Amino acid sequence: MLKFIYSLVLLFIAPVFLYSLYKKKDGKPSIGPRWKEHFGYTPALNSKKPAIWIHAVSVGEVIATIPLIKKIKAEHPEQNILITTTTSTGAEQAAKLGPLVEHRYMPLDFSFAIKRFIKIIQPQQLLIMETELWPNTLSAAAEANIPITIVNARLSERSRSRYAKVQGVFNLLSENITQILCQTKDDALRFQKLGIESDRVKVTGSIKFDINISKADINKGVELRKQIGSKRPVWIAASTHPGEDEQLFDAHKSLLTTQPEALLILVPRHPERFASMFKLSQESGFNTTSRSGKASIEKSTQVYLGDTMGEMLSLIQAADICFMAGSLIGDKVGGHNVLEPAALAKPILSGPSYYNFTDITKQLINNKSCTICADSGQITAQLQKLLNDPELRMQQGEAAVQVVNSNKGAIKKSIEFLPEFV
C-alpha cells in the first residue's frame, strides 16, 4: 500500500521535477535528446561485460566517486563501470572520466522505468553514493537479485529523527539494501536505531578523505596565483548559496578597509547563478572580473567570479584562506565538503551550520585548522587575523593536511566489503 501511495505522489510531482531538470539556465548543460533516459529508454552498454552500476546524483557525488572508480579500475582493469547521474551538471562531470566509465541518466523512480533500465543494462551490483534512496529503484534491483551497497553512507541525527517519524517508509527503503558502508560509528549507530541489523552495517570511514588532487589542478592554481600576484591577500568563498553572498560581500567590504589589495574569489554552488552573481557583485560596488570572461586580473580587481565548472580545486589552490559556504543560511544546506581546502593545506572558515559534515568539520576544529564564524563580522575578523599572520596560516594549513592523512584508507576498506568483481 505504501509503495502505491508513493508512486501516486511521484506521478503528480514528476512534472515539476522534470521542469526544473530541463529548464534552460545560463551555464547549465542541456540534457537534449537524452531526456528519454529518465524514463528507462537507455542505450545498451558499449561493452558486453557485466557492469558495476554506480549512482551519483550530481557534481559533488560524482567527484566523491572518482577515487573509488579509479581504485576499482586499477585493481580490476577489465571491470566495466556504469555511472548514472540525475542532473546534466553531474553528467558533464562524469564525462571527464573518459573511458574509465560509461554514463547514463538515472531513470525516474517509476517501476516501469527502472525495470526497463535494469533489463537493458543488467548490472551485476549497484553502489549508491551516500544516502540517495529511492523505493522503486531499490525494490526493482532486489527483485533482479542485484546486490545493493550504500557507499560512504551518512545519516545525521536530524535525518534519523525524520525517518523515525515515518518508520514504515524507511522500512520500505531499507529492506532491499544488502549492506550500508558508513562514514562514522555515529552514522552506523543511527542506522541501527532505525532497525537495520548490525551485520548489514559496517564502518569504513569517509572516502572523501582519500582525495587525490592532480598536479594539473595544482599547477592551474599556481598559475592563477601568479596572475593575481603572489603578495596580494586572497580568500575564496566556495560553493555559495542565495542568502550567503550578501554576507560574504559585507565581509569583503570590511576587509578592504584594512587590506585594500585583498581579492575575493567567489564561486557560486550552482551554475545557473553565475550571471546573477556577477551582476550582484558589480551592484555591490566591487570591481569584478569573471573566470569565463578570460579578462586579466588587475590590481583594481576586487572580486573574481569563479564561473566555470570543475575548477574548484585550482581556485582554492590560488587562495590563502578558504571559507566553505552552504553554512551561513541556517539549516537549509548543512555545509559542503571541507576536505578539499584541507588537502590543499588551506586554513578553513565555516558558518555554524555544517551538519552534513559534522564529523569531518569537528576533527578540523579540534585540530585548530577550521574556525566557525557566525556572521560577516566574525568572517572579517578571522580573515584579518590570518592574513596578518603567515605563520598561523601555515600552521593551520599543515594541521588540516594531518587530519586528511590520518583518515585515509576508506576506499580500500569499502572495496573489501563489495561483492566479487569480474
User: What is the mean predicted confidence (pLDDT) over 105-113?
Assistant: 94
Instruction: Express each pLDDT in 40-78 by its tens digit.
Output: 999 999 888 889 999 998 887 888 888 899 999 999 999
pLDDT of 202 strictly over 90: yes
User: Is the separation of the CB atoms in 400 and 347 below 8 Å?
Assistant: yes
pLDDT at 422 over 70: no
Amino acid (1-letter code) at residue 293: G
**292 CB contacts (<8 Å, ≥6 apart)?**
274, 307, 308
pLDDT, tens only, 239-292: 999 999 999 999 999 999 999 999 999 999 988 899 999 999 999 999 999 999
Q: Return the active site residues.
A: 61
Its CATH class, for the domain covering 29-39+49-206+409-417, is alpha beta
Residue 68 in grid coordinates: 573509488
* φ and ψ at residue 37, rounded to 5 degrees: -65, -25
Average pLDDT over residues 402-421: 91
- The three-class DSSP label of residue 402 is helix
SS3 at position 283 = helix
DSSP state of 356: G
CA-angle at 383, arms to 377 and 388, nearest 5°: 130
Percentage of residues of the chain with pLDDT beyond 90: 70
Q: What is the pLDDT of residue 386?
A: 98
User: What per-residue confidence (pLDDT) applies to 24?
Assistant: 78
Tell me whether the CATH fold assigned to 29-39+49-206+409-417 matches the one assigned to 215-406.
yes
Contact 357, 156 (CB under 8 A): no
Assess if CATH 3.40.80.10 describes domain 215-406.
Answer: no
Q: How confident is the model at residue 150, as a pLDDT?
A: 96
| b/e 405-418 (16+ beta carbons within 10 angstroms → b) | eebeebbeebbeeb
Rounded CA-CA distance 344/128 in Å is 28
**Rounded to the nearest 10 degrees, what angle do helices 167-174 and 157-165 cross at?**
100
Beta carbons of 130 and 393 less than 8 angstroms apart = no
For the chain, the domains span 29-39+49-206+409-417, 215-406
Of 155, 165, 113, 112, give the one whose Cα is nearest residue 133. Answer: 155
Q: Edge-to-edge, what's the strand order for the sheet holding 80-85?
A: 102-105, 80-85, 51-55, 125-129, 148-153, 179-182, 201-203
Residue 53: its pLDDT value, please?
97
Q: What is the pLDDT of residues 321-347, one digit of tens each?
A: 999 999 999 888 899 989 999 999 999
CB 155 within 8 A of CB 186: no
